[in-house]
């Protein structure tokens, strides 16, 4: 596998290896820009080799394309990394997957029916601290993460315990283990569980168990740090102030408001290396990897990953987790053996109305069809 080096980060032509000219992939990412997104960087590893390309712009008002080795916020892809660390600690005998979570985190008074597995699979019923959207249309807000209020306070620090206590002050959405509902709170609890069991920070455990062994030098667990390493494309947020539309560069922000629900930073190269190694059995023993990719019947969610069908013309099952956070989207797809992957980042102008949400689903479907031959992408409501 040829590594893309920083000396070529600002090249504007299509990047590919093994002389594989793949115009269909370049066309696909140019179509993403046509949907209204600012820029995209895409990396594909398959039987034809490695292909890397970008389209659109890195920042508003300029013409340079996004760097093909750029850093970006990966949103809910953070959950896959976090679930992997928990399962690695299960493999080390330090956590029991079906143990009550309260045994590890007694200070929160969690319902004893909530197990570690339920946290990783979103079956705990715990309120989502970024807000809940119910089937009848009812919305129960959580912390501010949209609109001018969020923009004005985007450097505020939240501690994970604060987010958990806010969530636990609200009723359970359902009895633990009886249903499925995407909740960022589950993964903040997973972070606190990791830190309690190991006596180390999540960043330290991530480095010990994943980043170090795989050489993921472009991946960060930022905690409260607002900056993204260079090179990177820029993210924006649009809101209305006294009847006037304002657009703000939000590339820098304190991501502690989402914590382990979606705070990590990575690159398309590192996401490829990670998901390929994970699915290839290099991070987890086979029985635990099998547990990870065992889908919940309601939505096809395993432990930190979505498990979906690639469609009648595709390669069967694909494993994925996507993420979106404040002007960035991250895509991560793999075949179950890690032999074929798609990793991508999209930068765009975000807003409270999520005006690009429908386009985002079309974009995902277009890329999955191009690389895996068919199918559609599962996405959680408000996946961040």
Measured distance between the N- and C-terminal CA atoms of the chain, rounded to whole angstroms:
31
Instruction: Report CA-CA distances (Å) from 73 to 108, 165, 311.
Output: 29, 25, 29
Task: Name the pairing type of β-strands 72-73 and 328-334.
Answer: unpaired
76 given a catalytic annotation: yes
Q: Which residues contact 13 (CB under 8 A, 6 or more apart)?
A: none
Q: Which residues contact 212 (CB under 8 A, 6 or more apart)?
A: none
Nearest to 27 by CA among 265, 276, 369, 326: 369
76, 183, 266, 334: which one is catalytic?
A: 76
Q: How many CA atoms lie within 13 A of 284 on its CB side?
A: 27
Nearest to 323 by CA among 72, 67, 25, 58: 72
Q: Distance between CA 100 and CA 114 in Å, rounded?
A: 6
Contact 222, 266 (CB under 8 A): no
- Catalytic residues, which ones? 76
């Amino acid at each position: 596998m040829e590594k893309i080096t920083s000396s070529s980060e600002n090249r504007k032509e299509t990047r590919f290896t093994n002389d594989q000219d793949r115009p269909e992939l370049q066309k696909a990412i140019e179509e993403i820009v046509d949907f209204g997104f600012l820029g995209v960087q895409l990396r594909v590893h398959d039987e034809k080799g490695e292909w890397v390309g970008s389209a659109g712009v890195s920042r508003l008002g300029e013409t340079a394309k996004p760097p093909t080795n750029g850093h970006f916020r990966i949103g809910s892809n953070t959950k896959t990394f976090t679930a992997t660390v928990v399962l690695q600690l299960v493999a080390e005998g330090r956590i029991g997957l079906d143990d009550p979570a309260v045994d590890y985190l007694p200070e929160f008074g969690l319902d004893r029916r909530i197990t570690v597995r339920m946290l990783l699979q979103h079956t705990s019923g715990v309120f989502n601290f970024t807000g809940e959207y119910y089937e009848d249309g009812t919305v129960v807000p959580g912390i501010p993460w949209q609109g001018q209020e969020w923009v004005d306070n985007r450097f505020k620090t939240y501690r994970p315990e604060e987010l958990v206590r806010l969530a636990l002050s609200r009723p359970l959405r359902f009895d633990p283990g009886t249903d499925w509902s995407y909740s960022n709170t589950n993964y903040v609890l997973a972070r606190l569980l990791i830190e309690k069991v190991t006596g180390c920070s999540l960043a330290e455990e991530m480095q010990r168990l994943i980043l170090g062994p795989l050489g993921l030098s472009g991946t960060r667990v930022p905690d409260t740090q607002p900056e993204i390493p260079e090179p990177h494309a820029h993210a924006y947020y649009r809101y209305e102030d006294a009847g006037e539309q304002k657009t703000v560069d939000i590339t820098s922000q304190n991501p502690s408001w989402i914590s382990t629900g979606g705070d990590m930073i990575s690159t398309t190269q590192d996401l490829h290396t990670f998901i390929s190694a994970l699915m290839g059995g290099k991070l987890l023993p086979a029985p635990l990897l099998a547990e990870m990719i065992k889908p919940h019947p309601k939505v096809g969610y395993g432990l930190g990953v979505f498990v979906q069908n690639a469609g009648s013309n595709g390669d069967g099952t694909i494993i994925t987790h996507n993420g979106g956070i404040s002007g960035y989207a991250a895509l991560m797809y793999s075949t179950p053996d890690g032999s074929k992957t798609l990793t991508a980042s999209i930068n765009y102008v975000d807003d409270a109305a999520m005006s690009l949400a429908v386009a985002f689903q079309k974009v995902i479907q277009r890329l999955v069809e191009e690389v895996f031959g068919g199918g559609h992408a599962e996405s959680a409501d408000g996946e961040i």
